[in-house]
Amino acid sequence: MDIKGKVFIVTGGASGLGEGTARMLSAQGGTVVIADMQAEKGEAVAREIGGAFVACDVSNEDDGRAAVDKAVSLGKLMGLVNCAGIAPAEKTVGKNGAHALGLFSKTITVNLIGSFNMIRLAAEAMSKNEPEATGERGVLISTASVAAYDGQIGQAAYAASKGGVVGMTLPIARDLARNGIRNMTIAPGIFGTPMLFGMPQEVQDALAAGVPFPSRLGTPQDYAKLVKHIFENDMLNGEVIRLDGAIRLAPR
C-alpha cells in the first residue's frame, strides 16, 4: 500500500508510539485521525500534522464509531494503528491483599477489548473500499508487548491483555482475508515513552543496558519505521513482530 493520499486512524496518537506514528504517516503524505483521550495534546499534534482529532475511549463503541466516521469523511480509510493502552503494575497477592479485580478488568477492557473494538469498526468501513490494484482494502496494526511472552512480576493484568492481542492476530487476519484486509501486531520491547520517562534516570539507564543490541531504549521513530514497512509490504499478514533488540525480560 502506498501511504500517500490515504487516511489513517492512530489511537493513542497524542503521545509516545502513537504520536511518532502519526507524524510519520503525515510526512509520507497520509491524512491522520488521532483518536485519544488527551484532548489538548491530541488537538495540538493534529494541528501540527494537518490531521484531525477525535476524543476517543477505544473501549466505547460510540467513540470508536465517531473516529471511524471522521476518517471516512476525510477520504479513503486504509489504515488503523492501535497504540492506546495502559500499563498498571500490581502483584496477584501484594502487601494490601489480592490484586484489585477492577484494575485487572480495566486493563483487559482498554488494551484488549479496546483494540478489538477499533479493529472491527475500522475493518467494517475498509470492507466498503474499492480495492487497490493488489486487491487490498486496508491494513490493521495493533500493539502488543514483549510482556505477552515474558511477563514480569506485577504484570499479570498487562501481560494477559497483551497476550490477548497476540492471540487474536492470526484469526482476525484469516477472518478478513476475503475482504482484502491485512492484520498485524507489533510487540515492542523497552521503549522511551512518556510512561517510561517518568522513571528515575538510573532506572532508564539500567533498562537500556539490558537490551542486547542496540543497547538503548527503543524510540517512537523505531516503531513508526516498522509500521511504515508493514503498510508497504503486502505479504506481511497475520503475524506478530517483536521489536525489542533481542531482549528477553527477567522476572523483575
Residues annotated catalytic, as ranges: 158
> Could you give the CA distance from residue 11 to residue 23 in angstroms, rounded to a whole number?
13
Polymer length in residues for the chain: 252
Half-sphere exposure of 187 (CA within 13 A, CB side): 25
Q: Which of 158, 44, 149 is nearest to 99 (CA)?
A: 158
- First-to-last CA distance in the chain? 40
CB 22 within 8 Å of CB 51: yes
Say if strands 31-36 and 52-55 run parallel, antiparallel, or are unpaired: parallel
Query: From the centroid of its chain, how far is CA 192?
Result: 15
CB 11 within 8 Å of CB 84: yes
Sign of CA pseudo-dihedral 122, 124, 126, 128: negative
